[in-house]
């Protein structure tokens, strides 16, 4: 296994374990009964599923662990297409999930209307995430050309099919545009939310502003990293 893959696996596994621990704590403790924490719980579950889903296709793109890649995809190459499809969908789903979390704090920042709006989010959060997941799946289906692969026994490598130079560049461009859009939306809503929360002097609200600040900038960092990786892939098609 390549060094970079070991690093990805190491910090990814630690992140998944911590995320699962937070999901357990938030789901079982009465201290976290606000709608904000329900949204965070769903978001963490999505993060865990996204990380697990990324590995089967990652070992093909990086040409790492060819033995495991061959076991998975030699006889079922369309399985790679399914993992890639879900990976693209998760990009949209997680981005909108982060935006929804910021919107939740923005709408519940006013103490006078907190109870009413908190009940609204508790009631409709599953429907909201259902719509987000539906949008992510539709975006992955209609806005990108998903490649599949074929295993070549004579070389021991996989080759991409149904993917030419034009499709590859269009895919990267569309994903890049959406990521930039999500970054701008996350920054704007996150900063507006922080400004509104900071109007309240209560210590709990100050803590919430720090949580939103950290969440917003971490998500922006992740999206910027994705943009860099997608545009670097242009070299693979030229």
Q: Domain spans of the chain?
A: 3-237
Tell me how far apart the alpha carbons of residues 132 and 95 are, in angstroms, rounded to a whole number.
10
pLDDT (0 to 100) of residue 234? 46
Tell me how far apart the alpha carbons of residues 9 and 4 are, in angstroms, rounded to a whole number.
9
Q: Residue 74 has which token pair?
A: 């030699």
Non-local (6+) Cβ contacts of 18 within 8 A are: none
Is 3-237 a domain of CATH 2.60.40.1250?
A: no
pLDDT (0 to 100) of residue 124? 92
List, for the chain, all residue ranges whose pLDDT scores fall below the cut of 70: 1-5, 61-67, 155-156, 162-166, 168, 197-238
Phi, psi of 151 (to 5 degrees): -90, 130
2 in helix, strand or coil? coil
Tell me how far apart the alpha carbons of residues 79 and 55 are, in angstroms, rounded to a whole number.
13
Beta bridge partners of 79: none
If you average pLDDT over every residue of the chain, what do you get?
77
Say what the pTM is: 0.80
Nearest CA to 183 among 224, 231, 229?
224
């Amino acid at each position: 296994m390549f060094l970079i893959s070991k690093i990805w696996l190491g910090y990814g596994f630690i992140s998944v374990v911590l995320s699962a621990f937070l999901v357990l704590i938030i789901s079982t403790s009465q201290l976290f009964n606000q709608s904000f924490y329900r949204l965070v719980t769903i978001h963490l579950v999505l993060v865990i599923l996204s990380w697990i889903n990324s590995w089967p296709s990652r070992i093909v793109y990086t040409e790492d662990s060819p033995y495991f890649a061959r076991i998975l995809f030699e006889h079922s190459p369309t399985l790679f297409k399914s993992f890639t499809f879900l990976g693209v969908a998760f990009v949209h789903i997680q981005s909108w999930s982060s935006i929804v979390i910021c919107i939740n704090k923005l709408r519940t920042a006013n103490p006078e209307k907190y109870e009413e709006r908190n009940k609204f989010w508790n009631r409709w959060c599953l429907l909201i995430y259902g719509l987000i997941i539906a949008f992510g799946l539709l975006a992955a289906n209609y806005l990108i050309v998903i490649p599949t692969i074929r295993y070549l026994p004579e070389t021991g490598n996989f080759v991409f099919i149904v993917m030419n130079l034009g499709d590859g560049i269009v895919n990267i461009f569309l994903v890049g545009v959406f990521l930039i859009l999500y970054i701008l939306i996350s920054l704007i809503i996150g900063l507006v939310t922080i400004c509104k929360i900071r109007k309240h002097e209560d210590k709990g609200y100050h803590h919430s502003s720090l949580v939103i600040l950290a969440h917003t900038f971490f998500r922006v960092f992740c999206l910027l990293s994705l943009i860099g990786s997608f545009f670097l892939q242009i070299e693979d098609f030229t």
